[in-house]
Amino acid sequence: MTDSRADKHPLVVDAYELKRQPGSSLRRTVVVPVEDAMGNDVLKAKPNTQAEIELLLESVIDGILATGNAEFETEGLCVRCLDGIDRPENVTFRQFFTYPGVAVEEAEEESEDIVEITGNFLDLRPAFRDAVLLALPLTPTCRSGCPGLCPECGQRLADEPDHGHEKQDPRWSALSGWQPDHQPEGE
């Protein structure tokens, strides 16, 4: 019996390719198309590109530990100056698959990282997607010291570092148009 899912996506891996012997491992590099919805409101994985993922599958006593290191392109906007961002990102993810019927002792925060193997295939797509979404910053900047925009007029402060506005104390605003009636002597 074969499962057609193995042919559809490179992150669905046949568990039988790895011997069920602790210490055995399997390495492979896969190229995955980037989904359009991977990201947040200001930074996303660049659509219609591909992510290169180095996978390591390791057989352990209770199951299979899958580790992936992915590199992909992102695009978005700087939250300070609204310039475009176009840069590569790296993310590492892990997923532990237990053999059917094996009880594994786990900490409460690790329970989401453990999945029981059902059938012949290990689906790494959810682990990859979650890792990408968690790795992307919610407030990306174009560079670490981006000064942003002037709150008064919207001028880019990186283009004009000495930019500023004269602020008048509102208590003196009534005197702003006042001119003296006479000129002092000697002037």
Alpha carbon 74 to its chain centroid, in Å, reads 8
> What was the pLDDT predicted at 153?
85
Q: Is residue 84 part of a domain?
A: yes
Q: Is residue 165 part of a domain?
A: no
What integer best gives the mean pLDDT of the chain? 83
Task: Give the domain range for residue 98.
Answer: 5-135
Q: Is residue 156 part of a domain?
A: no
187 pLDDT more than 80: no
> What was the pLDDT predicted at 15?
84
Q: Is residue 152 part of a domain?
A: no
The DSSP bridge pattern shows strands 63-77 and 84-98 to be: antiparallel
The maximal CA–CA distance of the chain, rounded, in angstroms, is 108
Q: Is residue 174 part of a domain?
A: no
Number of domains observed in the structure of the chain: 1
> What was the pLDDT predicted at 28?
92
Q: Does pTM surpass 0.95?
A: no
Q: Is residue 140 part of a domain?
A: no
Q: Is residue 17 part of a domain?
A: yes
Mean pLDDT of 61-79: 92
Query: What are the DSSP calls for 61-103, one per residue?
Result: SSEEEEEEEEEEEEEEE-TTT--EEEEEEEEEEEEEEEPTT--
Q: Is residue 176 part of a domain?
A: no
